[in-house]
Structure 1
Amino acid sequence: MGKSRIIFHVDMNSFYASVEAAYDPTLAGKPLAIAGNAKERRGIVVTASYEARARGVKPPMPLWEAKRACPELLVRQPNFDRYRQASMRMFQLLYDYTPLVEPVSIDEGYMDVSDVVTDMTPLQLANHIQMRIEKELSLPCSIGIAPNKFLAKTASDMKKPKGITVLRKREVREKLWSLKTIEMHGIGSKTAEKLQKLGIYTIKDIANANKDLLHRHLGVGGLRIYERAYGIDDRPVDPDAVNEFKSIGNSTTLPEDTTEPAKVRKVLMNLSDSVGRRLRRKNVYTGNIQLTIRYYDRKTITRSSKLPHPIDLHDDIFEASWRLWEKYWNGEPIRLLGVTGMDLVEKGQAYKQLDLFSYKKEEKEVKLSDVVDSLRNKYGEDVLLKGTQGGSKDRSDDLRDKKRRGTSLEKDFLRNKLFTDE
């Protein structure tokens, strides 16, 4: 029988606000929010200190609403260079103990300390790391200790701020089964709604459910949460995971080469719609849109555009890709088009400046996108095509496009190294 693993999940507490308080000690212990356009009372709250949260300030609340809930709220605009620097220092400190460190976002990561040689117990080691981070970086963190990543992540969430929690596999029934399904790491609101429709409300209900039922309704994710309900998670701590190039893209080879802007626009709308839906399914935004154009002679170019703020909606993705096409198309017949979202960031780690009116508008667009997503997932991609996305097309072209639209750009690039970069 193999040696039991010891996994730490280190989670920085209210990271952006804590970094600002470390930079300016006069902010420590005060209700603080990080939001865009702070001087003009515009934007949304990205994160808030625990003092602000205690007064009802929670992201992604509009700033005007946060000020109403907490009139004494202090507000600072995001300084992402400062946060990245603090994150690098934090991870460098973790690497002092083991090379098996896996960053999963700017403010959290896993450590496999199973083979760390020390006179300290795992609990003492976690306490030592926590005190070093606070002393050297002036930043608070919580640490979960467990035999796998899922339980370590769950443990770190149990006591904030500045908590250290041990969660053993044998304690899962006692400590987790009574919790609602949405409180399980990896289950979002949409999955929780699907589970409710199956009569599953708690983690215990998941554990007692039929595996085939979960698989049928939730796919591989259903089997995964079934295992998690018993505290099973065999994923290794992977130091190289952070270096993986993460993107979401789709490409399609056109039925025939074209130079007609109307046809290009139609294709880019469909591709943007598909990329947007995949981004929303994975709960991520993209901060960089890349356009791929392959011409009739197979010469291929890729051009990208950094965005002023992260996006996940069809219209925003299309506008960015259309601007790239207008700027870089050389007028020759096009054989293939591709749209890719790069520089992905998890929701909750991104911010976007919004005034009250654009906030309401975006809220409506998100709700509309959710409705369209559910219809297309159920009835197919041709349902509710927007404007020029529709139109007459030969049935054989329909079938051919559906097969090709699902092709990942990364795989397409690997198969065809016939393209030039900027």
Structure 2
Amino acid sequence: MTGGKHKGRVIFHIDMNSFYASVETAYDPSLSGKPLAIAGNAKERKGIVVTCSYEARARGVKPPMPLWEAKRLCPELIVKPPNFDRYRSSSREMFQVLREYTDLVEPVSIDEGYMDLTDTPYREKAYKTALEIQERLQKELLLPSSIGIAPNKFLAKMASDMKKPLGITILRKREVPDVLWPLDIAEMYGIGQKTAEKLRTLNIEKIADLARADEVALKQLLGINGPRLKRRANGIDFGEVNPDRIYEFKSVGNSSTLPHDSTDEKELNRLFDKLSASVSNRLKRKEVMASKLFIMIRYADWTNMTRSKTLQNPTDQADEIAEEAKALFKQHWQGDAVRLLGVTGTGLVKRTEAFKQLDLFSFEEDAKDEPIQKLVEELNEKFGTALIKKGVKAVEKESNTSGTSFNKDFFQEGRKDQ
């Protein structure tokens, strides 16, 4: 994909600053310089802060804080409901600007992406080009951004996080020991809280510890991801900037064929539980949540039926997925013998961007559930859900209704328009 198998690739990571809040400010300049939050149920004391302006962050507001807490910290906080059509439109315009410099642009979410400038005239003036891109995004779209420049994707991503807002950071591989190694392990891109906790069982507290860690022990602890993370900690990343990757990851699903055709509702529900646990584990590993659910039913005569439901809130929880799947099945099943069942989560949302419409009481209930969910996750990780074998994919058109679906369909629409 990249022309850069040779040394010295030039990779940019573009990260838009407080994207939703910045888009709202671009549409309404009177919001500039004011504490602004994007949250669900903005007209009530409900919901979760999805994102907020830097002025709000300076007052202690941060996602995914409950809105009532944000208001307590910052009484003058301006709250706006999400406008996803507006955000998608701004995202398309942002990526159109990036593609003026290279065809090798890889969107990774609605507000960030990679560029490979290795085989372009901009290679020799990387910093000047980054400054030009940043200024154009600010002037033409009124959107601030931070840009990381590095010889690979991992280092570019780490660099873009170092100066916000409106930062440009160059991170060279030789600078990794001085710049990255002193950081806490949880600050490393690709390491979530659970992985950080596991690494600490090997006395890995800093990125430097991971860079020097025993590879066999890492593989035993984290599987193939262990050695990969060690390479990254040493500044090594072979990942290529792939413009087509946006088409690859739109759903997470599993299906399983029963050992015999069945009309036993209890047996079928048990299979839904197992399928949902598998889907939940994969969503969590990918750090995404599903906002829409599909089930597939294949009957004894090999005819297929698919049914879907848009979820009230994005989820990665096995019990919630199973409950919705079984309810869909009960609604549409006529009692005929079933050969295969499938469960697929679509409308995928990055976990850090997902939010729930919560009032005070449901927020407290969710908080109570956290220890139980954590225990279940640990048991699943330890003992596995080994009965799931085959994957099922569903084709989905983007819903016209507002929601938190940031699957990459909207990127495809943008590319077709060009």
- The alignment covers a number of residue pairs equal to 390
Which of residues 209, 218, 222 is equivalent to 2:222?
218
Residue number in structure 1 paired with 2:45: 41
Q: 2:350: which partner in 1?
A: 346
User: Which of 243, 262, 269 is equivalent to 1:265?
Assistant: 269
Are the counterparts in 1 of residues 46 and 67 from structure 2 also a CA contact under 8 Å? yes
Residue correspondence of structure 1 range 86-235 to structure 2 within 5 A = 86-118=90-122, 121-235=125-239
Counterpart CA distance in 1 for 2:361 and 2:71 is: 17
1:29 aligns with 2:29: no
Unpaired runs of 5+ residues, structure 1, are 382-401, 412-422
> What is the one-letter code of the residue matched to 1:76?
K
Poorly superposed stretches of 4+, deviation over 6 Å: none
The verdict on how the C-alpha distance between 1:150 and 1:318 changes in structure 2, with shifts beyond 3 A counting, is: same
Larger Rg over CA atoms: 1
CA change 1:269–1:140 in 2 (3 A) is same
Q: CA deviation at 1:217?
A: 1.1
Counterpart amino acid of 1:264? L
- For 2:249 and 2:211, locate their aligned partners in 1 and report how far apart those are by CA, in whole Å: 35
| TM-score, length-scaled by structure 2 | 0.90
- Residue type at the aligned position of 2:365: K
What are the superposed Cα offsets for residues 307-361 of structure 1, whole Å, 9 maximum, x if unpaired? 2331112232123212321233233110111111112121122222111111121
Q: Distance in 2 between matches of 1:375 and 1:65?
A: 33
Q: Report SS of the residue matched to 1:40.
A: coil
Amino acid at match of 1:108: E
Distance 2:6 2:273 in 1: 52
Change (3 A) 1:281 1:2: closer
Equivalent-residue separation in structure 2 for 1:314 and 1:119 (angstroms): 47
* Overall identity of the aligned pairs, in %: 56
Is the alpha carbon distance of 1:348 and 1:259 closer, same or farther for their aligned partners in structure 2, counting shifts above 3 Å?
same
| Within-5 A mapping of 1:356-367 | 356-367=360-371
| In structure 2, C-alpha distance between the alignment counterparts of 1:159 and 1:245, rounded to whole Å | 29
Cα shift readout 1:57-81 (whole Å, capped 9, x = no counterpart) = 0111100011111111111111111
1:327 and 2:331 aligned: yes
The equivalent residue for 1:409 is 392
Retained in 2: the 8 A contact 1:313–1:366? no
Structure 2 partner of 1:13: 17
Structure 1 residue 118 displacement after superposition: 4.4
The runs of 5 or more residues in structure 2 that have no matched partner are 395-418
CA distance in 2, matches of 1:322, 1:77: 32
Cα distance in structure 2, aligned partners of 1:119 and 1:104: 22
| Alpha-carbon distance, 1:3 to partner | 4.0
Task: Give the Cα separation in 2 of the matches to 1:119 and 1:373.
Answer: 45
Q: Is the 8 A contact 1:249 1:340 kept in 2?
A: yes
TM-score, scaled to structure 1: 0.89
